[in-house]
Amino acid sequence: MNSTMDRAQAEPKPDRPRDVSELANLLDSTARGDRAAFADLYQRTSAKLYGICLRLLGSQAEAQDVLQDVYVTVWQKAHRFDPARASPITWLAVVARNKGIDRLRQRPVQVEELEAAAGVQDDAPLAFDIIDRERDSARLTHCLDELEERPRAMIRSAFLDGATYPELAEREGVPLGTMKSWIRRGLQRLKGCLEQ
């Protein structure tokens, strides 16, 4: 068991600064026109840059096209890479991101004609209907307030609270016929008020 641990500790661990240095060297060689260095750079970084393009564009075909543009730009502008300002992978990711955004901006904006909106059904009431309802409600409230207390209370209970005539008659301790006539007379007055 100790020999296994000793071997694990003896194996070299990935050295990120070395990777950064290698990528920087590959970019430097690419800037000088070294095709083999460019191919190696592509092999090491294309999967990551493709992922960036795919996330931005959401289309494999477009991501592949943009990735090609990215590496054309890298071939042409590798001399602009400054290791003092960014790591190689950050610089490459920025190139990929910018190319992806450029492609998004080139996409045609799909604007449907105004007539197409006419076919979209809206179940919400129209503004005029809302205004009319509010006016009607205000008039009804005003006319109800014009009635005497007992008919007003009976009409509100019957039509707004859902009480039945027999329930109202029992609650008020009057015969059903009397209750019906109170409500009928109150409704006639209410109708007269609303028609003015």
150 Ramachandran zone, left/alpha/beta (phi>0; psi -120 to 50): alpha
Other CB atoms closer than 10 Å to residue 4's CB: what's the count? 8
| pLDDT reported for residue 143 | 83
Alpha-carbon distance values, 28 to 46, 68, 78, 103, 108 (Å): 17, 20, 7, 27, 38
| pLDDT reported for residue 11 | 36
Give the global pTM. 0.49
Instruction: Collapse the DSSP code of 79 into the 3-class scheme (helix H, G, I; strand E, B; otherwise coil) and give the result.
Output: helix
For residue 102, the surrounding DSSP H or E stretch is helix 88-106
Confirm if 155 and 183 have CB atoms less than 8 A apart: yes
Q: Could you give the CA distance from residue 191 to residue 75 in angstroms, rounded to a whole number?
A: 87
| pLDDT reported for residue 35 | 94
Alpha-carbon distance values, 80 to 44, 74, 76, 98 (Å): 20, 9, 9, 15
| pLDDT reported for residue 118 | 60
| pLDDT reported for residue 8 | 40
| pLDDT reported for residue 110 | 62
Confirm if 89 and 70 have CB atoms less than 8 A apart: no
Token readout for 81 is 């890479």
Please report, in tens digits, the pLDDT of each residue of the chain (196 residues total): 444 444 444 333 334 667 788 999 999 999 999 999 999 999 999 999 999 999 988 989 999 999 999 999 999 999 998 888 888 998 999 999 999 999 988 887 666 655 665 666 666 666 667 777 777 778 888 888 888 888 888 888 887 778 888 988 898 899 989 888 888 888 888 888 878 7
Q: How far apart are the first and last CA of the chain?
A: 102
Alpha-carbon distance values, 90 to 35, 39, 64, 65, 191 (Å): 22, 19, 20, 20, 79
